[in-house]
Amino acid sequence: MATKAAYKRLSKEYVVMQREPPPFVWAAPDEKDILTWNYIIHGPPDSPFTGGEYHGVLLFPSEYPFKPPGIKMYTPSGRFQPDKKICFSMSDFHPGSWNPAWSVATILTGLVSFMLSDEMTTGSVTTSDAEKRLYAARSHAWNIEQRRFKEAFPEYCTPTLRPLPNMGEKERGKPDTPTVASPSTASSPRPVVPSMALAATNAVIPQKNLGARSRKVARPGVSGPTANPGDASRGWAATWRQVVWEKWRWGVLIALAVVVSRITSSA
């Protein structure tokens, strides 16, 4: 049974996981036991695990975050023994190196990194890259036949592999492309809010309306197919009066200057 500290910490980490999941990883606690978390890892690009889907579990002690979890991977991967605890620096094999500041996201990110390495340890196996690729190609079909996977991730039990919320697009310099949730994907961990799609639709203005507004705001004196001829004539008349006034004013000033100059000279 989880202590109050463990329950509070893991609840907070689930909120963070939903808001900012790490690349190629998704995880969620068991509905009946918050100390048991199921996770999915998708094989990163340019690796023998590309296209693979790997299901496993994190087994947290009641003393978490002051003690590390046990870690297993169920899906055959060619890297770890299925359903066997994995020994690496963030697992319960190394309580002395555990850091209480580490989180679920930290652990799973570390597991992905360890998975990509060739380091041999308890729970690991040795296979070729070709064998790992073969396991990756078969992984999703294997997962959706497993009761544990169906219960933990029913939304991922689809005929084809479904991407995780964060597939590392931002990390590779590619912006995430939001998609509108359909009835078949309504249970996605990060569904797109329908109002966002509605707002995007309302933002598209028909060209006819744009033309109507442009005709209404046409300025006087601007010629064109949408300008009013009466407005144009009034604009030119106003311009002509301005020109005449400017010339007349300067003419008066020059004449006044000549008169003053002559008076001064005769004096």
What residues are labeled active site? 87
Contact 80, 74 (CB under 8 A): no
Place of tokens 């020059």: 254
CA 264 → CA 234, 253, 255, 258, 260, distances in Å?
Answer: 45, 17, 14, 10, 6
Determine contact, residues 166/24, Cβ cutoff 8 Å.
yes
The number of C-alpha atoms within 13 Å of 59 and in the hemisphere containing its C-beta is 10
Query: Taking Cα atoms as reference points, which of 53, 76, 9, 66 lies closest to residue 156?
Result: 53
Do 105 and 16 meet the contact criterion of CB atoms below 8 Å apart? yes
Place of tokens 């949408």: 226
**Residue 177: partners with Cβ closer than 8 Å, 6 or more residues away:** 169
* Distance from C-alpha of 13 to C-alpha of 265, rounded to nearest angstrom: 97
Query: Can you tell me the distance from the alpha carbon of 87 to that of 190, in angstroms, rounded to the nearest whole number?
Result: 32
46 CB contacts (<8 Å, ≥6 apart)? none
